[in-house]
Amino acid sequence: MDALDTRGVQVDEAAVCWDEVVSKHQRHISRLAWHLSGDLHEAQDLTQETFTRAFEHRASFRGEASIRTWLSRIAVNTYLLKLRRIKRLREVTLDMVSVADSSRDPEQIVIRREFYECVYWILQNRCRPSERVVLVLRDLDGMRYDEISRVLGVSVPAVKSRLHRARQAFRQHLCGSGCAGLRPDYTCVCEGVREI
Amino acid sequence: MNCRDVQALLSSYLDGEVDDTVRRSIEAHLAGCASCRSEFEAISKTVRMIRRLQDLDPGEKPETGRY
């Protein structure tokens, strides 16, 4: 199995190896798909499609990047392809989201939920897809810049530039979102935000 | 480095994705520039907010919701 991570998928043993690839990387790809799409059902479809496309093109994997990076690239490209096909912005809700919350104070739980909803809503509904992708890969998926450059097929300096612009855009969206507590000088009276 | 140069690099600096020479230049600038320190704090806060979304998991319908 280790050979998969360094030398790629061997076609003649694909059936056995592929189950292991899926098993090892499914959770990561599912979370990535969910962060990108903002919808549980779409994320499931995107995950399925990612592994299907990866299996179909497994011979093209040459081990220059890790399998995780390769699969992430397929997931991102599949997501962007779908967006171009749909050509519409959806209203994303948190209806299919649960928040791990250790607080027993109902008021604190509500405040925290509002914080999550505010940030999540901006990511899904105000950020452009190109901004969302780079923010998800870096800040939610935790990829290094060189990994992101492989996923997006751009240089590391381009990643730096895109990420900088995306974070600035997110900040501007947040300030302009009508969030009751957020002021233009980026100070905030919302307790949900204050606690970060 | 002037303020514009520094502010363009703050995101990478925050992620530890600048080399030591650039890092030292940025830190020297930040030490003497309140405006860039404020900008750095804003970017840091933005990133912390986004990263809090890592706490979210796909799952059951929440008890409350605004949208």
Measured in angstroms, the CA of B27 and the nearest CA of chain A are apart by 18
More confident residue, A124 or A152: A152
Q: Are B29 and A185 in contact (CB under 8 A)?
A: no
**B60 in a domain, yes or no?**
no
Q: How much of chain A, in percent, has pLDDT values that exceed 90?
A: 31
pLDDT, tens digit (0-9, with 9 covering 90-100), for A21-63: 888 999 999 999 988 888 888 889 999 999 998 888 888 888 7
User: Which 3 state secondary structure label does DSSP give A154?
Assistant: coil
**B25 in a domain, yes or no?**
yes
Tell me the two tokens of residue A75. 């997931």
The pLDDT, as a whole number, for residue B30 is 94
Bridge partner residues of A79 (DSSP): none
Measured in angstroms, the CA of A98 and the nearest CA of chain B are apart by 5
The pLDDT, as a whole number, for residue A81 is 80
**B67 in a domain, yes or no?**
no
Cβ contact, residue pair B12, A164, below 8 Å: yes
Cβ contacts from A onto B, under 8 A: 105
The pLDDT, as a whole number, for residue A25 is 93
User: Which 3 state secondary structure label does DSSP give B58?
Assistant: strand
The pLDDT, as a whole number, for residue A188 is 52
Cβ contact, residue pair B50, A145, below 8 Å: no
Please tell me the total count of domains within chain B.
1
* Beta carbons within 8 Å of A44's beta carbon, 6+ residues apart: A30, A33
A59 vs A95: CA distance, rounded Å: 39
Q: Tell whether the model's pLDDT for residue A64 goes beyond 70.
A: yes
Measured in angstroms, the CA of B19 and the nearest CA of chain A are apart by 13
Please state which architecture CATH assigns to domain A106-194. Orthogonal Bundle (1.10)
The pLDDT, as a whole number, for residue A84 is 67
What CATH number did the domain enclosing B13 receive?
1.10.10
B20 vs A10: CA distance, rounded Å: 41
CATH class of segment(s) A2-86: mainly alpha
Of B17, B52, B59, the CB nearest to A119: B52
pTM above 0.95, yes or no: no
Residue ranges making up the domain that contains B22: 3-53
pLDDT, tens digit (0-9, with 9 covering 90-100), for A173-195: 877 765 544 545 544 555 444 44
pLDDT band at A93 (very low <50, low <70, confident <90, very high): very low
- The amino acid present at A115, given as its one-letter code, is F
**B66 in a domain, yes or no?**
no
Q: Are A75 and A36 in contact (CB under 8 A)?
A: yes
Q: Tell whether the model's pLDDT for residue A77 goes beyond 80.
A: yes
Of A98, A164, A170, the CB nearest to B57: A98
The pLDDT, as a whole number, for residue A26 is 92
Phi, psi of B52 (to 5 degrees): -65, -20
A156 vs A169: CA distance, rounded Å: 20
User: Which 3 state secondary structure label does DSSP give A4?
Assistant: helix
A93 vs A86: CA distance, rounded Å: 18
Tell me the two tokens of residue A100. 């791990």
List every span in chain A annotated with CATH 1.10.1740.10.
Answer: 2-86
List every span in chain A annotated with CATH 1.10.10.10.
Answer: 106-194
The pLDDT, as a whole number, for residue A135 is 94
More confident residue, A104 or A29: A29
